[in-house]
Structure 1
Amino acid sequence: MRETTHKNARKRKTGRRHPLATVALIAIGLGLTGGAYAAFNATGSSADAATSSSSDVASGKKLFQANCATCHGLEAQGTDEAPSLIGVGAAAVDFQVGTGRMPMAMQGPQAEQKPVQFTQKEIDQLAAYVASLAPGAAIPDERYLDGNGDAAKGAELFRVNCAMCHNVAGAGGALTQGKFAPSLHGVTARHIYEAMITGPQNMPVFNDRNITPEGKRDIITYLQYIQKNPSPGGFELGSLGPVAEGLFIWIFGLGSIVALTVWITAKSN
């Protein structure tokens, strides 16, 4: 009986897990999860890089070294003057260069929109080169840019996520330290979508978990709707809100009362 008990005890002892086994299992699990996530992002985000020809990448590299490397470094690794572009993706390049914000004319609180300095083909080549460096946000699918989403849902999403900076009518607004949220009037659907997924300047990044691609489509639909339809309240005063309206009332309303008072007084005399 004692011998049997002793054998069972030895079996339990030899079958005991090593103290580091749990740590090893956790590490393996984290590694597999991270690898799967990276593979998924690489597949979804670097579609542009996969479809771009090697000649586009090579041409984009030449354009980059001639026009962008002074600030961003020869290998886009970043410098003291500008951040690294490794991993920003094709969408960031298409937005920044396609709106004329890059190359910057001068250092300032933020890059301002100005006339575009490259053709669309050259912009595509620059985007292909940057996308080839590392996975990043890809050029949006055309089906999300058609403006045929739900304008009512888009209005709700815009008020919750964007209106505090861009104004509920997309007219833009001032921020701190000389920065500002630009007007969204006249901005193309492609650039609006790219801004949401890349977060240019002071704008946060709205990935697909924050706002789904369908939600971004709805926001674009809302912005296009308010630009195509006149204000139901009449003269909108630039859609700048109560400040502009109050200033209008103060100048013209109070001015009219003063003018009327002067006229009445002059008549009585």
Structure 2
Amino acid sequence: MTFDTPAGRGGPLKRLFGRRRGAPSRARRRLGSAVRMVAALTLAGGVYTVFAPGAFAEDTRQLSAAAQEGKALFDNSCISCHGRDGRGVEGRGPNLIGVGAASVEFQVGTGRMPMARQEAQAEEKPPQFDDAQVQQLAQYVQELGGGPVVPEGELVKDPEADPEAMAHGGELFRINCTSCHSFGGAGGALSSGKYAPSLNDATPRQIYAAMLSGPQNMPVFGDNQLTPDEKRDLITYINLQLQEDKDPGGLFNLGRYGPITEGVAIFLVGIVILTFSALWIAGKS
């Protein structure tokens, strides 16, 4: 046996005890890392599922009784334009996810929805649903995707309890609303065939819902622009000053567009009186 010769060193021992195991290949190392990663992710997912079951509650939550009634109305009257899941249909109706109950109260409660036809602006018309049905539709859309909600409670303040509400509301109205709705709340024309509607018949809830949802060209007045208390001040001014006090600036109802209409009326009446007076004097002479 030649254990000491270089040429034969270890030859018989290598054959006797076997070759040394070589280092794992790069492919085997990558495969092992991938297996460990999949196992870790599976374990993390299992732990999350066990300790956070509420994460999957949204997909399987039950609608309230009012929302179920609203869903039945929605499926019969709204699904063709807004889709089965309320995400809208291209060219027909917008996505309702996130618009909230406030948008439904304004659009459906004023008869603007359902629309009779596609045009520049949805026109106000007699509502197709009563107040209870509007609330059911609003509740369904709210539970479907969330969004702004008109608060419950009185939206018009008592001037005797809060004497500053009327004055503050008038200031807010002049700053934020008169450029479109005019100083008397009669509305006015906008660009591209659109218009700002009259506020004469708008209810406090409709006004509050419009401020929250920003329909048509109207901007959204979130709580960071106008606080809920300021919104109530503004509604108090509209309800008690513009709607109940029909003629705050004159003796006759001339549309409440400001001094122009009264000036034109006085001019026309004056011209007629002067003309007849001149004719009478000429006839006498």
TM category, shorter: 0.7 to 0.9
1:162/1:128 CA distance change after superposition, 3 Å: same
Could you say which structure has the higher helix fraction? 1
Task: Report what 1:195 is aligned to.
Answer: 210
Q: CA deviation at 1:111?
A: 1.1
Task: Report what 2:140 is aligned to.
Answer: 129
Q: Answer whether contact 1:59 1:125 (CA < 8 A) is retained.
A: yes
Q: CA deviation at 1:94?
A: 1.1
Residues 61-83 of structure 1: per-residue CA shift (max 9 Å, x gap): 22112111222222221221221
Percent identity over the alignment is: 49
Task: Report what 1:253 is aligned to.
Answer: 270
Match of 2:201 among 186, 195, 208: 186
Residues 248-267 of structure 1: per-residue CA shift (max 9 Å, x gap): 23432223222322222222
Give the letter for the 1:115 counterpart: P
Matches within 5 A, 1:1-269: 54-79=64-89, 80-143=91-154, 145-148=155-158, 150-226=165-241, 227-229=243-245, 230-268=247-285
| Runs of 5+ unmatched residues, structure 1 | 1-49
- C-alpha distance in structure 2 between counterparts of 1:171 and 1:118, whole Å: 26
1:172/1:243 CA distance change after superposition, 3 Å: same
- TM-score after normalising by structure 1: 0.75
Q: CA deviation at 1:188?
A: 1.0
Q: CA deviation at 1:95?
A: 1.2
RMSD: 2.0
Task: Report what 2:24 is aligned to.
Answer: none
Tell me how many residue pairs correspond in the alignment: 217
Q: CA deviation at 1:127?
A: 0.8
Q: Answer whether contact 1:140 1:194 (CA < 8 A) is retained.
A: no
Q: Answer whether contact 1:198 1:205 (CA < 8 A) is retained.
A: yes
Structure with bigger gyration radius: 2
1:83/1:243 CA distance change after superposition, 3 Å: farther
1:248/1:130 CA distance change after superposition, 3 Å: same
Q: Which has the higher contact order (CA 8 A, sep 6+)?
A: 1
Q: Answer whether contact 1:91 1:140 (CA < 8 A) is retained.
A: no
| Runs of 5+ unmatched residues, structure 2 | 1-60
- TM-score after normalising by structure 2: 0.71
SS in 1 for 2:255: helix
1:182/1:237 CA distance change after superposition, 3 Å: same
Give the letter for the 1:113 counterpart: E
Give the letter for the 2:201 counterpart: G
Task: Report what 1:16 is aligned to.
Answer: none
Give the letter for the 1:122 counterpart: Q
Give the letter for the 1:231 counterpart: P
- C-alpha distance in structure 2 between counterparts of 1:253 and 1:181, whole Å: 33
- C-alpha distance in structure 2 between counterparts of 1:74 and 1:253, whole Å: 63
